[in-house]
Chain A
Amino acid sequence: MMTTDVESPPRAEAPSDPAGTPVDRPRLEHDLRAARSVFSGGFTVLCALLSLIAAFPLFGVLYMLIERGAARLSWSTLVELPPSAIQTEGGGFGNALAGTVFMVLIAGLIAVPAGVFAAVFLAEFGKDRPLAAAIRFGAKVLTGMPSIIAGIFGYALVVLTTGSFSAYAGGVALSILMLPIVTLTAEQAIRAVPAKMKEAAVGMGATPTQVVWRVTLPTAMPSILTGVMLAVARAAGETAPLLFTAQFTYFALRVDRLENAPSLAVLIYEFSGSPYEHQIALAWSASLVLVLLVLVFNLGGQLLARRNELARTR
Chain B
Amino acid sequence: MSPPHVTSLPRPPTAGEKAVDVTFRHGTFAVGLGVLGLLALIVVEIGGVAAPALREQGLQFLHGETWDANQQVYGIRPQIWGTLYSSTIALVVGGVLGIAVALFISQGFLPRKLELLLKTVIELLAAIPSVVYGLWGIFFVLPALRPVTEAIHDAFGDFALFSPRSAGPNLLGGSLVLAIMILPTVTAVSRDAFAAVPGKVREAAFGLGATRWECIFGVVLPTASSGVFGALVLAFGRALGETMALAMLLGNRNEFSWSLFAPSNTLASLIANTFPEATGTERNALMCAAIVLLLITLAVNVLGTLILARTNRRLRGLA
Contact = CB atoms under 8 A, between A and B. Distances in A.
Nearest to B18: A207
Interface stretch (A79-87, A90-98, A152-160, A250-258): A152-160
Contacts of A226: none
A44 B212 contact: yes
Interface in A59-85: 60-61, 64-65, 68
Nearest to A57: B180
Given A244-B275, A295-B127, A144 B132 contact: no
Given A121-B29, A291-B128, A140 B98 contact: no
Nearest to B238: A144
Given A141-B301, A269-B244, A121 B31 contact: yes
Interface string B232-273: 001001101111100110000000000000000000100110
Question: How large, as a class, is the contact surface on chain B?
Answer: 35 or more
Contacts of A284: 135
A138 B39 contact: yes
Contacts of A210: 17, 21
Contacts of B141: 57
B159 interface: no
Contact of A53 (B17, B32, B97, B301): B97
B293 interface: yes
A58 B243 CA distance: 19
A39 B244 contact: no
Interface in B126-143: 127-136, 138-141
Interface in B34-58: 34-36, 38-39, 41-42, 45-46, 48-49
Give chain A's interface residue range (CB within 8 Å of chain B). 35 or more
A168 B15 CA distance: 39
A243 to B, nearest CB: 6
A147 to B, nearest CB: 7
Interface stretch (B71-79, B117-125, B147-155, B194-202): B117-125
Interface stretch (B60-68, B99-107, B160-168, B311-319): B99-107
B243 A118 contact: no
A60 B140 contact: yes
Contacts of B113: none
A21 interface: no
Given A118-B35, A138-B36, A156-B45, A243 B132 contact: no
Contacts of A302: 120, 123
B227 interface: no
A269 B248 contact: yes
A236 B134 CA distance: 16
B298 interface: yes
Contacts of A61: 125, 128, 132-133, 136, 180
A291 B129 contact: yes
- Most chain A CB within a 10 A radius of its CB, from B31, B32, B243, B297: B32
B287 A152 contact: yes
B316 to A, nearest CB: 15
B211 A118 contact: no
Interface string A20-62: 0000000000000000110110011011101101110110110
Contact of A118 (B18, B31, B49): B31
Contacts of B131: 237, 239, 265, 268-269, 272, 287, 290
A150 B243 CA distance: 12
Contacts of B135: 268, 272, 283-284, 287
B10 interface: yes
A265 B127 CA distance: 14
A50 B97 contact: yes
B183 A146 contact: no
Contacts of A247: 276
Contacts of A68: 139
Given A64-B139, A272-B135, A147 B128 contact: no
B120 A146 contact: no
Contacts of B248: 269, 272-273
B205 interface: no
Contacts of B70: none
A180 B35 contact: yes
Interface string A283-294: 110010011001
A145 B294 contact: yes
B294 to A, nearest CB: 5
B243 A239 contact: yes
Contact of A117 (B31, B212, B237): B31
B243 A135 contact: no
A166 interface: no
A192 interface: no
A269 B305 CA distance: 32
Contacts of B287: 152, 156
Contacts of A122: 32
Contact of A209 (B21, B41, B120): B21
Contact of A135 (B36, B104, B212): B36
Given A40-B212, A205-B13, A269-B131, 16 more contacts: A40-B213, A44-B213, A47-B104, A60-B136, A65-B132, A118-B32, A125-B25, A138-B35, A139-B35, A147-B241, A148-B268, A152-B271, A239-B131, A265-B244, A268-B131, A280-B139
6 contacts: A46-B100, A117-B27, A144-B237, A149-B294, A210-B17, A280-B139
Interface of B: 10, 13, 17-18, 20-21, 24-25, 27-29, 31-36, 38-39, 41-42, 45-46, 48-49, 96-98, 100-101, 103-105, 109, 120, 122-125, 127-136, 138-141, 180, 183-184, 187, 211-214, 216, 234, 237-238, 240-244, 247-248, 268, 271-272, 275-276, 287, 290, 293-294, 297-298, 300-302, 304-305
